Amino acid sequence: MAVNETLHPFQRLQQELAILISETPAGERLLSEPELANQLGVSRATLREAMRTFEGQGLIRRRQGVGTFVVGHSQVLDSGLEVLESIETMAGRIGLDVSMGALRIQQFAAEKAHAELFQLPVGAEMVTVSRVILAEFRPVAFLVDELPAEVLTNKELQNGFTGSVLDLLLSRDDLQLTASVAAIQAVAASSEIARAMQIQRGDVLLMMSSKLYDAGERVIDISTSYFLPGYFRFHVVRRVEGTKS
C-alpha cells in the first residue's frame, strides 16, 4: 500500500505507521523509538504521539523498558452505560477469555471524607482492592475499589476471587444494590498504572469513576476503573424528548 503524499505530515506519518504495523507479524517487536523516528524522519515526541492512536486501537502494545510489539486483533468489549455489569459479564457475552492479573489488597482507617461518604465513624476499617484485568493474557484494565471492611472481608477476597468486586457483591444475599452513579473521562496513565498495564506513562486511558448504592441509599463501594481504549467501547441509549416512554 502506497503512502498518500497529499496528506498532512502527521496524517502521513500515521499512514506510514499503519503500513509498518500491518506488515509486521503479531508478537514481533518494532524498531526502538530512536531508530523508528530516524527512519521516518520525525522527532521522538511526534512519533510517540502518533503511536498512541494505534495503541488505543489495540494494534500495538508498548512495554516500559522493553519495546513496542505488534499484537493480534482483539475483540472489543462493548457495553451500554445504562446497565451496570462487570468486565467478566461483558467478556462472557462475546466469548472472550479474561482473567485477573496482579492483585493488591490494602487495609486503611477511614478519615473524615471517607467516613462521611460511607456513613461510618472516623477510623472505621476500610479496604482497597487494586487489580489488573487481562484479556487474551494482555493487561486491558486496572481496577480499584474502596469499600468498608464490613462489606467485603479478606476471607471473600482470598477464596476464589476472580477480579470482579461487583459480581461478588451481587452474589451476596444480604445486599440489595440499587444504583450506580458514574462519570467517564480520558486521562493520562500515571507511572503506577502504566507499570501495571505495561504501557507508557502518559498514554491515554478511559477512566470511569463510580459510586455504588444500596437500598438504603448508602454508598457501599467507590470504584475507579482505567480501560485501554482499543479494547472497550461504551455507549448510551438516550430517549428523544417528547416521545412516549
CA–CA distance, 104 with 110 (Å, rounded to integer): 18
Lowest mean pLDDT among 65-74, 116-125, 221-230: 65-74
The answer to whether the CB of 34 falls within 8 A of the CB of 45 is no
Overall average pLDDT of the 146-171 stretch = 90
For the segment 218-229, what is each residue's pLDDT rounded down to a tens digit? 999 999 999 988
Q: What gap in Å lies between CA 68 and CA 101, rounded to an integer?
A: 21
100 or 155, higher pLDDT: 100
3-state secondary structure of 214: strand
Using alpha carbons, list the distances in angstroms from residue 90 to 66, 161, 179, 216: 31, 18, 19, 28
| Local structure of 201: helix, strand or coil | coil
Q: What domains can you pick out in the chain, each with its CATH number? A: 9-70 (1.10.10.10), 77-235 (3.40.1410.10)
**DSSP per position, 138-181:** EEEEEEEEEEETTTS-HHHHHSS--S-HHHHHHT-TT--EEEEE
Q: Is 28 left (phi over 0), alpha (psi -120 to 50) or beta?
A: beta
The percentage of the chain sitting over the pLDDT mark of 90, rounded to a whole number, equals 49
68, 51 contact by CB (below 8 A): yes
pLDDT for 214 beyond 60: yes
Tell me phi and psi for residue 162, to 5 degrees. -105, 0
pLDDT at 3: 46
For residue 239, what are the CA distances in angstroms to 172, 181, 243, 244?
Answer: 33, 18, 8, 9
Are β-strands 219-227 and 138-148 bridged in parallel, bridged antiparallel, or unpaired? Answer: antiparallel
Q: Which is more confidently placed, 89 or 55?
A: 89
Q: Write down the residue that cell numbers 527512519 correspond to.
A: 39
Helix (H) or strand (E) holding 24: none
What is the mean predicted confidence (pLDDT) over 90-118? 93
Q: What proportion of the chain, given as a percentage, has pLDDT over 70?
A: 94
| Range 40-47 average pLDDT | 92
pLDDT at position 58 over 90: no
pLDDT digits (tens, 9 = 90+) for 163-200: 999 999 999 889 999 999 999 998 888 999 988 988 87
Among residues 165, 182, 153, 169, the alpha carbon closest in space to that of 87 is found at 165
For residue 204, what pLDDT band results from cuts at 50, 70 and 90? confident
